[in-house]
């Protein structure tokens, strides 16, 4: 099991990435790591070189580089070399905390898509707040595509269901379609057509429509949407959480001594709250529908999240997720 790691991607690279790999090396001695980036900097943080191969390169993709152009121009960038390692069979999966668009482009254009998946989708496991440990739902497409057809949404239902079964070990995962109402008759032209296709797909447990308001209640294991809406929902969730936290902080600040004492007493609870809302325990976002696991974590990721994402990739590889998917699509089209 060999994972190609873009050691230079993310705000705290290579420190946070290499420290995460140190943790993963301890927990998963069966994995070999190929670290792409500046050798001297990587070595500064690496505890030892057991199961590690460093592939030195000075070039890297910046967070504001134009995705498709940059992977074409920066042929020696750490991310691009890591993707080529997967394409050439030197590694089984790629991990990066760098430029999302560039990683999507690397997945699509270097590693390549599974033949029957016309439009790979970006998927992440979002937390739900039902109190159960590790509860969540797989949300796909979070924004790899700006325009999707109903057939793509059917594919996302199949992909998400595979992931929930194989990686999250959920029996018969409940697949729902994000829509503007829960009734069967609701929807845009796109979601109405997708509803029809999902309803008629025998390989998944389609439970109908779900509204964005209700996704956090644990009513579905997989939530399917087009990339434009998925992107808008994800960013609304982020924006709202940020806004509420900002208002909470400023309210405490403006509330004087009494508020500050209150906040101090509440500190443990607020930290517990942060933990409950943290979805890095589920790992990173997966570009799903390409020929190998392509996995992204947040640019501001820390060592623990890197370790969790490596654990997620390990499960995907152990379960042979991509190969099973390919077999499924070949058999269902036959």
Task: Give the interface with a copy of itself as residue ranges (CB under 8 A).
Answer: 129, 131, 143, 146-147, 178, 180, 186-189, 191, 211-216, 225, 227-229, 231-233, 235-244, 246-248, 250-252, 254-255, 258-259, 261-270, 272-273, 276-277
- The residue among 88 and 269 lying less far from a copy of itself, judged by its C-beta, is 269
Strands 174-178 vs 205-210: parallel, antiparallel or unpaired: parallel
Least distance between a copy of itself and beta carbon 246 (Å): 6
- The residue among 297 and 311 lying less far from a copy of itself, judged by its C-beta, is 297
The dihedral of CA 137, 308, 233, 160: what is its sign? negative
Least distance between a copy of itself and beta carbon 21 (Å): 30
What is residue 173's DSSP assignment? P
- The residue among 146 and 334 lying less far from a copy of itself, judged by its C-beta, is 146
Least distance between a copy of itself and beta carbon 257 (Å): 9
Least distance between a copy of itself and beta carbon 172 (Å): 25
- The token duo for 21 is 């790999």
- The residue among 75 and 235 lying less far from a copy of itself, judged by its C-beta, is 235
What secondary structure does DSSP assign to 207-219, as a single string? EEEE-GGGGGGT-
Rounded to the nearest 10 degrees, how much is the dihedral formed by the CA atoms of 125, 133, 172, 210?
A: -60
Helices (H), the chain: 15-27, 39-45, 67-73, 78-87, 100-105, 150-166, 189-199, 227-254, 256-277, 303-318, 321-333
- The residue among 69 and 75 lying less far from a copy of itself, judged by its C-beta, is 69
Least distance between a copy of itself and beta carbon 215 (Å): 6
Least distance between a copy of itself and beta carbon 71 (Å): 17
- Chain-centre distance of CA 219, in angstroms? 20
- The residue among 199 and 259 lying less far from a copy of itself, judged by its C-beta, is 259
In contact, 177 and 195? CB cutoff 8 Å: yes
3-class SS at 285?
strand
Total residue count of the chain as it appears in this document: 334
């Amino acid at each position: 099991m060999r994972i190609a790691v873009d050691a230079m991607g993310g705000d705290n690279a290579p420190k946070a990435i290499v420290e995460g790999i140190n943790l993963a090396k301890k927990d998963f001695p069966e994995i070999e790591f190929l670290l792409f980036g500046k050798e001297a900097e990587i070595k500064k943080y690496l505890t030892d070189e057991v199961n590690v191969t460093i592939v030195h390169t000075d070039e890297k993709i910046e967070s504001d580089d134009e995705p498709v152009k940059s992977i074409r121009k920066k042929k020696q960038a750490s991310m691009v070399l890591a993707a080529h390692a997967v394409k050439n069979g030197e590694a089984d999966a790629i991990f990066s905390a760098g430029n999302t668009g560039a990683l999507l482009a690397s997945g699509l254009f270097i590693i390549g898509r599974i033949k029957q998946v016309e439009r790979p989708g970006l998927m992440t496991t979002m937390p739900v707040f039902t109190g159960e440990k590790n509860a969540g739902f797989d949300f796909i497409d979070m924004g790899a595509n700006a325009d999707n057809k109903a057939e793509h949404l059917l594919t996302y239902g199949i992909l998400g269901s595979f992931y929930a079964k194989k990686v999250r070990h959920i029996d018969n995962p409940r697949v729902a379609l994000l829509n503007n109402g829960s009734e069967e008759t609701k929807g845009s032209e796109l979601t109405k057509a997708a509803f029809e296709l999902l309803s008629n797909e025998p390989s998944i447990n389609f439970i109908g429509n779900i509204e964005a308001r209700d996704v956090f209640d644990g009513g579905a294991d997989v939530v399917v949407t087009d990339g434009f809406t998925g992107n808008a929902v994800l960013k609304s969730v982020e924006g709202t959480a940020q806004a509420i936290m900002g208002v909470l902080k400023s309210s405490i600040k403006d509330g004087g001594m009494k508020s500050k004492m209150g906040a101090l007493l509440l500190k443990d609870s607020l930290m517990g709250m942060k933990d409950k809302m943290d979805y890095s325990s589920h790992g990173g976002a997966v570009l799903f529908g390409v020929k190998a696991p392509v996995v992204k974590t947040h640019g501001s990721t820390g060592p623990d999240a890197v370790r969790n994402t490596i654990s997620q990739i390990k499960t995907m590889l152990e379960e042979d997720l991509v190969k099973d998917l390919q077999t499924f699509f070949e058999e269902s089209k036959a």
